[in-house]
A and B are shown apart, each in its own frame.
Chain A
Amino acid sequence: DIQMTQSPSSLSASVGDRVTITCRASQSISSYLNWYQQSPGKAPKVLIYSASSLESGVPSRFSGSGSGTDFTLTISSLQPEDFATYYCQQSYNTPITFGQGTRLEIK
């Protein structure tokens, strides 16, 4: 199985900050990497697919980069609604696996 490791596991930041979350795969997954946001009590929603493609309707302050084993999700200017938990997910092969999550909290 491909292990996905996110860092950090939690992060405190302020509105307007630039934030970067990292996801590392245990083997190369090309660009088969997706990012999700989950707000408390809600279902996850996709932000970025195929490492760097912005899902329709997602604000442009979200961006993704990387390929192979190392990936990043960047939020350019945090907004109040961005405080949530973020997950990466590989779809390179089965079983599909997720990172453990990064909890983004208000400082």
Chain B
Amino acid sequence: QVQLVQSGGGLVKPGGSLRLSCAASGFTFSDYYMTWIRQAPGKGLEWVSYISSSDTTTYADSVKGRFTISRDNAKTSLYLQMNNLRVEDTAIYYCARGRTVVPNWFAPWGQGALVTVSS
């Protein structure tokens, strides 16, 4: 079945770095847009970034220049490198699959990874 399994996350100090991973299975990973979406504690959903099947990347202004999305089609994995982390980046980060031609809607989602930025 189509599945996304996340790893990474944890506690990091402001200004620190962290890398999230998302392992995909059950579909042709290289064909699909992939995305990261986050949810601050008790808050709503915020789109962070997506990457196309041809490796075109797009970012929310709030993370542009600090976060880098990437994919390894051979390993069917998605990554989010987060640098210069801020307290306001504290959230559960979800990876999700988009569509093939456009990002559009997202299904399925990974189980989420909690990132806490605190001194």
| B-binding residues in A (CB < 8 A) | 32, 34, 36, 38, 43-46, 49-50, 55, 87, 89, 91, 94-101
Residues of chain B within 8 A of A49, CB atoms compared: 104-105
Query: Ordered nearest first, which 8 A-B pairs have the shortest CB separation?
Result: A43-B109, A34-B105, A96-B47, A49-B105, A46-B107, A98-B45, A91-B104, A101-B44
- Complex CA gap A50/B101 in Å reads 14
| A-binding residues in B (CB < 8 A) | 35, 44-47, 50, 58, 60-61, 94, 102-112
Chain A's closest residue to B110 (CB) is A43
Q: Which of A44, A87, A98, A100 has the most CB of B within 10 A?
A: A44
Contacting pair A44 B44 (CB below 8 A): no
Chain A's closest residue to B35 (CB) is A96
Given contacts A43-B111, A100-B44, A101-B44, whether A94 and B58 have CB atoms under 8 Å apart is yes
Residues of chain B within 8 A of A99, CB atoms compared: 44
B98 to chain A, nearest CB (A): 8
Residues of chain B within 8 A of A101, CB atoms compared: 44-45
Given contacts A95-B61, A97-B47, whether A43 and B104 have CB atoms under 8 Å apart is no
Given contacts A87-B45, A94-B58, A101-B44, whether A32 and B109 have CB atoms under 8 Å apart is no
B8 to chain A, nearest CB (A): 16
Residues of chain A within 8 A of B44, CB atoms compared: 87, 98-101
- Complex CA gap A99/B46 in Å reads 9
10 other A-B residue contacts (CB within 8 Å) besides A43-B111, A91-B102, A96-B35: A34-B105, A43-B94, A46-B105, A89-B106, A91-B105, A94-B58, A98-B44, A98-B45, A98-B46, A101-B45
Contacting pair A45 B45 (CB below 8 A): no
Question: Which single member of A43, A98, A100 contacts B112 (CB below 8 Å)?
Answer: A43
Residues of chain A within 8 A of B111, CB atoms compared: 43
- Complex CA gap A46/B99 in Å reads 13
Q: Which of B61, B106, B111 has the most CB of A within 10 A?
A: B106
Residues of chain A within 8 A of B112, CB atoms compared: 43
A24 to chain B, nearest CB (A): 16
